[in-house]
Amino acid sequence: KSYNVPIFSNSWLSDPDKAFWALVIVTVWQYTGYMMVIYIAGLVNIPRDLLEAASIDGANSYQRLKNVILPLMVPS
């Protein structure tokens, strides 16, 4: 049944282009949670002292991200 919705009228897996993008979307959705856990674990392990020292030295939020947070997140 298509329920009168155009997106459901054709099978997504019968057309190679639509099948490819459907699988890409499903795969991205599948691994998003796993990657979030890794990134959040990396963010939690950043010492607050370094962020506070950068703030005291006059770094704005972008500079703290670029010069402190991202280099410390590279291993994760």
Question: Which residues make Cβ contacts (< 8 Å) with residue 55, sequence separation at least 6?
Answer: 64
Residues 22, 54 within the same domain: no
Range of the domain at 67: 45-76
pLDDT by residue for the chain (76 residues), tens only, comes to: 556 766 666 777 888 888 999 999 999 999 999 999 999 999 999 999 999 999 999 999 999 999 999 999 998 8
The pTM assigned to this predicted structure is 0.63
pLDDT of residue 1: 55
Residues 49, 35 within the same domain: no
Q: Could you give the CA distance from residue 45 to residue 39 in angstroms, rounded to a whole number?
A: 10
- Specify the number of domains making up the chain: 2
